[in-house]
Structure 1
């Protein structure tokens, strides 16, 4: 079973930055809270951050404020959110709260991947490698000066019969 859990539809999670900064969300207090969380990251977050920041081809942000939430890690180029889930994420009303949070992120075109903190602690290198694979685009852009895409494969016909 994969250590990465991509959410489509979203599943439960509640993290350190899930509390709204203001009734309308976002704002200066969310940014201040994100800065504070960067200084007090959990051990699994620190281990993963050490590896993610070493990836040459991808740029991640840690404890990134977005709206009224703070994302554990965010890769803007891939529109990918990485959340590290500890044991407390399955308790109380957190699953419902997390479904609302993840739905909000998904509605904005972001892909959310949840990783159990224990998986990061067991093998942070494998987790980072799996994240790097998940952040890669499905299709690579054509090389400059290269040939155009092949016509007639169906995807460019927009409903026309062959």
Structure 2
């Protein structure tokens, strides 16, 4: 794992061989990833990327400005060697200064607004500044 530091920015080298896999994952997102992307992250005022290659791993969603990865875990993340693999990924991201937030598919389906509010809250805290007006449903949640 290597990174170049330039000012306040860390540029991470990545494994170019897995870019085609990341592109395929972008085209074939799970319903929960699609929901989070199209109904929240794609419109969020701080830019997110989906299926972003970082080092030798692919993050579901990545916000460079906040150094934050958002992972949506399906059932496959809880069996076999997946928990160990997820831990190694999280450790790798952590060494690069990138924080990881994890949510399960059921959380995204059943508590979508809460998931969005948690992501928004974490970004606001990490950036320690006001973010332009949030998407409509977040305003509605905070107004009620």
TM-score over 0.5 (shorter chain): yes
The number of aligned residues is 115
Distance 1:123 1:95 in 2: 23
Distance 1:81 1:31 in 2: 17
Distance 2:125 2:84 in 1: 31
Contact 1:85 1:116 in 2 (8 A): yes
TM-score normalized by structure 2? 0.74
Q: Which has the higher strand share?
A: 2
In structure 2, what is the equivalent of residue 117 of structure 1?
A: 105
Distance 1:64 1:125 in 2: 24
Cα displacement string for residues 24-47 of structure 1 (whole angstroms, at most 9, x for unaligned residues): x711x3111111110000000000
Shift of 1:108: 0.5
Off by >2 Å, runs of 4+ in structure 1: 123-126, 137-141
Distance 1:43 1:137 in 2: 28
In structure 1, what is the equivalent of residue 42 of structure 2?
A: 53
In structure 2, what is the equivalent of residue 11 of structure 1?
A: none
Asked which structure has the greater RCO (Cα within 8 Å, sep 6+), the reply is 1
Contact 1:64 1:74 in 2 (8 A): yes
Rg larger for: 1
Structure 1 spans left out of the alignment, 5+ residues? 1-24, 142-162
Q: Which has the higher helix share?
A: 2
